[in-house]
Structure 1
Amino acid sequence: MMNLVLSVCFSTSLFVIFKYFDRFKIDTLQAIVVNYVVAFVLGMASANAFGKLGTVPEQPWLLGAIFLGLLFVSIFFVMALTAQRNGVGVASIAGKMSLVVPILFGIVLYNESAGVLKLIGIIIALIAVYLSSVKEGKSGKGGNLIFPILLFLGSGVIDTTLKYVETNFVSQHDVDFFSGCLFGFAALFGILVLLGQLLVKRPKFQWKNLMAGIVLGIPNYYSIFFLIKALQNKNFESSELFTFNNVGVVILSTVVGVVLFKERLSKKNLIGVALAIIGIVLVANANG
């Protein structure tokens, strides 16, 4: 349970950091690439595995790590496009509602329980995510639905693939090494994108972008590290875990927004938070 709580806390901190990106005019792409490099180095240092890098091609999770690294970068850009063309509120909702994808795969692929109480709890949690995330007045801008749909599916595929690779190929003592390599491939793909941008736009490098990437990379690494550790807990089914994780991030992000950024909650948001708690209780007690 502690690994899940830590994953929720580190995931929530990412939203806080991104909030400050706008305030300090950070070049998001440059910071994101640096963040991946930092997460890679942190993973390798934690595992004391720099000497094992030559064994990466032999690892059973190699293809999964490459695929996830590419997804990390791709979905980030889809998220940015969704926010720009459809609004930040739509992007937030599409990303968080994606928890339905790994839940369904958990039930189908791993024969996880799908009792009435759990299904009701999951449905309530989905409604809660929407109500907690939606912002009144300036939430949406319309636009093409292709980007929200891609964000929804892509975020869900990331969680589902992470669960699949962890279950079948990652050993208990290999989490640090796998996590580091995962971010290493994301860094590689991100650097290629950044080089392409440099050839086309020639953006100016600023030291504040480097510092922002370092600040982002540390919690980003641990959000994935502790999520993988939580997935290895056999006392939780993935359908339960992803419900707890995503709804937990919604609740904590809402609280942080109110306390730290003085954000106002609408009646829908308050109802969403209340439903989120009810949904978690139902899912947690579904197998009791």
Structure 2
Amino acid sequence: MIYLILSILISSSLFVIFKLFDTFQVNTFQAIVVNYVVAFTCGFFFYGNGITIVEVTQKPWMIGAVCLGILFISIFILMALTAQRNGLSVASVSSKMSVVVPVIFAVIVYNEKLSLLKIAGIILALLAVYLTTVKKDGASFDRKKLLFPVLLFIGSGVIDTSIKYMETTYVAEGETPIFSAAIFACAAIIGIMVITIRRDFKITGKTILGGIALGIPNFYSIVFLLKALRPDQLGDSSTVFPINNVAIVMLSTIFGILIFKEKLILKNWIGIGIAIVSIALITISAQQL
């Protein structure tokens, strides 16, 4: 349980850091690339136990790490944009209500039973994403503002599903930190390639500090989540992901209100309430199976 609690606390802080990037005018993309370099360094040098990069590339999970690296940097950019343009509550709900994606995957691939409670939870989760995105009362609403939250919702779900699959299928006991480091390394390489193509080499000290501030908690958020998914811990993803995600949604929303004075209208509060109900339904349905 301690790993799950740590994952929740650290993951919630990531949304705050993204919001601070906007406040202090930090180059978000460059900071994200620096963050992945820092996260890789944390994993490889502190937990590598003498392993070489050549040995890492020969691991059975390496191809999966490359694919996850691409997803990570793409979703991190979406997460930052959503937090900055739509607010912390929208970013957290959009990414964490994606718990429905691994649930659907488990039904299709692992033949898990899809109960009425779980179906209701999935439908309510989708509704929660929309309601928390609405920022103005009245009939008019810019549907373009749904683009980033929806993409974040889908992408985060794919990442959760992939992480659980790789962890249970290919990652051996004790390899969690180095597996995480490999994902971050792949994301960093992709980011550096993009910076090189764009010729965006003017990295400031503020950007480096922002990347360090993001990279350390980012690394440990993944490590603690993977450890929480281990069979000797809570293990069951249909339990871990719902608890993890709904707690992050609520904590991020509280941070948004207390730190950044974000204003929530009635529809936003209803959306957050529905999000909690949807997660509860999914959790209850999982316990009944």
TM-score with structure 2 length normalisation?
Answer: 0.84
Q: How far did residue 46 of structure 1 move?
A: 3.4
2:247 maps to 1:242:
no
Distance (Å, rounded) in 2 between the aligned partners of 1:255 and 1:126: 21
Distance (Å, rounded) in 2 between the aligned partners of 1:155 and 1:246: 11
User: Are the aligned partners of 2:131 and 2:267 in contact in 1 as well (CA < 8 Å)?
Assistant: yes
Q: Which residue of 1 aligns with 2:19?
A: 19
Distance (Å, rounded) in 2 between the aligned partners of 1:281 and 1:79: 24
Aligned CA distance change for structure 1 residues 275 and 248 (closer, same or farther; 3 Å)? same
Moved more, 28-37 or 44-53: 44-53
Give the CA RMSD over aligned residues.
3.0
Q: Which residue of 1 aligns with 2:174?
A: 173
Q: Which residue of 2 aligns with 1:160?
A: 161
Write the mapping of 1:1-288 to structure 2, written as runs, cut at 5 A: 1-49=1-49, 51-77=51-77, 88=86, 92=91, 94-136=94-136, 141-143=142-144, 150-198=151-199, 202=200, 204-233=202-231, 235-286=234-285, 287-288=287-288
Q: How far did residue 207 of structure 1 move?
A: 0.6
Distance (Å, rounded) in 1 between the aligned partners of 2:179 and 2:12: 23
Q: How far did residue 162 of structure 1 move?
A: 1.2
| CA deviation vs aligned residue, 1:182-205 (integer Å, no higher than 9, x gap) | 11111111111111121xxx4532
Distance (Å, rounded) in 2 between the aligned partners of 1:281 and 1:75: 26
Residue segments in structure 1 that go unaligned for 5+ positions in a row: none
TM-score with structure 1 length normalisation?
Answer: 0.84
Distance (Å, rounded) in 2 between the aligned partners of 1:119 and 1:240: 16
User: Are the aligned partners of 1:122 and 1:243 in contact in 2 as well (CA < 8 Å)?
Assistant: no
User: Are the aligned partners of 2:117 and 2:281 in contact in 1 as well (CA < 8 Å)?
Assistant: yes
What amino acid is the match of 1:117? L
Moved more, 23-32 or 111-120: 111-120
Identity over aligned residues, as a percent?
Answer: 48
What amino acid is the match of 1:225? V
Distance (Å, rounded) in 2 between the aligned partners of 1:88 and 1:265: 11
Distance (Å, rounded) in 2 between the aligned partners of 1:264 and 1:152: 22
What amino acid is the match of 1:157? V
User: Are the aligned partners of 1:170 and 1:178 in contact in 2 as well (CA < 8 Å)?
Assistant: yes
Distance (Å, rounded) in 2 between the aligned partners of 1:183 and 1:212: 16
User: Are the aligned partners of 1:251 and 1:276 in contact in 2 as well (CA < 8 Å)?
Assistant: no
User: Are the aligned partners of 2:238 and 2:283 in contact in 1 as well (CA < 8 Å)?
Assistant: no
Aligned CA distance change for structure 1 residues 113 and 66 (closer, same or farther; 3 Å)? same
User: Are the aligned partners of 1:107 and 1:239 in contact in 2 as well (CA < 8 Å)?
Assistant: no
